[in-house]
Structure 1
Amino acid sequence: MTDATAQEGPKLSFKGERQLRYYWFIALTMMIVAPLAGVYPIFLMKILCFAIFACAFNLLVGFTGLVSFGHAAFFGVSAYVTGWLAVNGFTPEIAIAGGVLTAAAMAFVVAILSIRRQGIYFAMITLALSQLVFFMCLQAPFTGGEDGLQRIPRGNLFGLISLKSDLAMYFFILFAFAGVFVLLVRIVHSPFGQLLKAVRENEQRATSFGYVSSHYKLIAFVLSGALSGLAGSLKCIALGFATLTDVHWMMSGEVILMTFLGGVGTFVGPALGAFVVIGLQNTLSDKVGSWVTVILGLCFVACVSLLRRGMVGEWNAWTRPSVKRRASQE
């Protein structure tokens, strides 16, 4: 039995489901109240954007078993496309849709070239293609080169709702995050999601039952890439810029850190990991400068060494008796 299976745990009882919904309600209430209580909205928006990114990546690595080193390509390209469309007068929803569709198309191409490989070969192919995209963004005329796209307007949502206010922009991103979270929960608990888990656990057995595993991996990869693109588009609109940092390989490393730190194969883990990583970056960047990268690296080493299932995974293993029994039998 794999760690991811242990993290997911058994189906909850009716009482457990009610308690879980109670926790979700508290978390949503806290996120609604946070900017009104004085927390910097830009900081919260950045956390939510990267939480979407990490949750999208987790769909691929946690529930399909494919570790991609090139997800920054979808995040960054979508940000560039969205920024270019917004600068040229398109409304935010059209700009975001354009970025997401571009990311989905790119994910389809990358998946066609990579999903027939497994393990380190799959990871290296995605990394190589991501670096190709990075240099394309560096040389393309519409990306602004090393300067990137600056002063990207937020515009009016559907031509009616102004997003110039930080609070309006925050609640728009919060709505998007909630929608993505619910969508991922529904996907994982659907028959399609169960097939993804079957492919992750034993691809040969899933194939022996007549399922074409490459088709399901392709769909999962495209979904993950599209949602990663949504995160990049929202980040671009919220912060007002798109740069080469968004498409750099280190961005892929950051989302891997967020996902593994929070807990692979869990729903809340990637979002919690995004909160920790972005929080550390914002807190320490003005105190230790570039050493913040070293600190994040040490956090990753500590997570791999001490929290093998991530923060949420370890919490589930010690608070759910049946999961704890499974973990002790590994």
Structure 2
Amino acid sequence: MLSRARLAPLALWALMLGFVLIAPAFLYPVFVMQLLCFALFACAFNLLIGFTGLLSFGHAAFFGGAAYIAGHVIKMWGFPPLLGIITGALFAAALGWVVGSLAIRRQGIYFAMITLALAQIVFFFVLQMPFTGGEDGLQGIPRGYLLGFIDLNQPLAMYYFVAAVFLVGFLLIYRIIHSPFGQVLQAIRENEPRALSLGYNVDRFKLLAFVLSAGLSGLAGSTKALVFQFASLTDAHWQMSGEVILMTLLGGMGTIFGPVVGAFIVVALQHVLSGIGSWVQVVIGGTFIACVLLFRRGIVGELARLLRISSL
């Protein structure tokens, strides 16, 4: 008989997979695709803050930068969609190496401020470069054909492609967390001086975690650009970095499924309350405050505590 510690994660896996498979039957596919892109973005960010202990205020640079690069190579260079989003993810990983190499020289709030400053430089380039479309954004990104014969202009084909990208990204993050590499990252989060004294090259591990997080964030941004056939300044704005922090903390920082839950809540509130205009941010902020006061570990974190499970 399965113990509670194993049954709860299996139940969450089954619930998530079931939702991903049947969601188009009762929800608007574009909404669910947006949800999956942001869920992957939040999971990638959680790999850095939740399992390495590094707070980045500049992850929008990787999310938005990859969206523009993927959109450009697909639209102007004729890349197929799969190769386009991989190109965007690789660009984000390379940008993450540059940003991370500079940022990891400092800790705490100084690390966060460096990531924010460098992300604003990326935002400036996105605004000024001729191929990005400036304030109008990069429009008309074609979805094309997956593997040469699957028409991604068909809603269900596009949906299951996005679902596959999300599941691959999520499984990769899950494997990283449960690998020896992931255990070292958590050791750095808990006690960096002790990890250093054990002989680990802490800066190298932190940089690799930063690059992986940036690349997976870029994968999410590239996929979102393909879904909406559009890359905008909003994707690279500092507010996007704030939103992914909100999603992660709301669901549960340092948990596996928490960012997915947090992304679902934030994206759902944005859609349901879109009719009230800018007041939607007030409602989301109030929801966040209430959850922080009632669920200090996040929703999934508190659920794990109640069930006395070490990790969900």
TM-score bracket for the superposition, by shorter chain length: over 0.9
Return the offset for 1:303: 2.7
Within-5 A mapping of 1:276-291: 276-286=265-275, 288-291=276-279
Spell out, residue by residue over 1:48-78, the C-alpha distance to the aligned partner (whole angstroms, 9 max, x if none). Answer: 0000000000000000000000000000000
Among candidates 206, 222, 226, match of residue 195 of structure 2: 206
Among candidates 68, 72, 79, match of residue 60 of structure 2: 72
Return the offset for 1:29: 1.9
Partner of 1:233: 222
Return the offset for 1:82: 0.6
What CA distance in whole angstroms lies between the structure 2 residues aligned with 1:240 and 1:322?
41
Spell out, residue by residue over 1:98-131, the C-alpha distance to the aligned partner (whole angstroms, 9 max, x if none). Answer: 1111100100000000012111100110001111
SS of 2:52's equivalent?
coil
Return the offset for 1:301: 2.2
Within-5 A mapping of 1:177-216: 177-216=166-205
| Contiguous gaps of at least 5 residues in structure 1 | 1-12, 324-330
Return the offset for 1:27: 2.7
| Contiguous gaps of at least 5 residues in structure 2 | none
1:169 and 2:152 matched = no
Provide runs of 4+ in structure 1 moved above 3 Å: 13-16
SS of 2:142's equivalent?
coil
Within-5 A mapping of 1:1-330: 16-17=5-6, 20-35=9-24, 37-88=25-76, 89-286=78-275, 288-320=276-308
Return the offset for 1:182: 1.3
CA contact (8 A) 1:260 1:303 kept: no
What CA distance in whole angstroms lies between the structure 2 residues aligned with 1:14 and 1:291?
45
What CA distance in whole angstroms lies between the structure 2 residues aligned with 1:38 and 1:181?
23
SS of 1:227's equivalent?
helix
What CA distance in whole angstroms lies between the structure 2 residues aligned with 1:26 and 1:253?
28
SS of 2:139's equivalent?
coil
Return the offset for 1:25: 2.4
What CA distance in whole angstroms lies between the structure 2 residues aligned with 1:22 and 1:131?
41
CA contact (8 A) 1:61 1:264 kept: yes
Spell out, residue by residue over 1:197-250, the C-alpha distance to the aligned partner (whole angstroms, 9 max, x if none). Answer: 000000000000111100000000000000000000000001110000000000
Return the offset for 1:30: 2.6
SS of 1:34's equivalent?
helix
Q: Which amino acid aligns with 1:229?
A: G
What CA distance in whole angstroms lies between the structure 2 residues aligned with 1:294 and 1:185?
33
What CA distance in whole angstroms lies between the structure 2 residues aligned with 1:321 and 1:236?
37
Q: Which amino acid aligns with 1:246?
A: D
Q: Which amino acid aligns with 2:123?
A: F
Q: What is the CA RMSD across the aligned residues, in angstroms?
A: 1.5
TM-score (norm 2): 0.96
TM-score (norm 1): 0.91
CA contact (8 A) 1:162 1:168 kept: yes
Q: Which amino acid aligns with 2:104?
A: I
Return the offset for 1:21: 2.5
Q: Which amino acid aligns with 2:190?
A: E
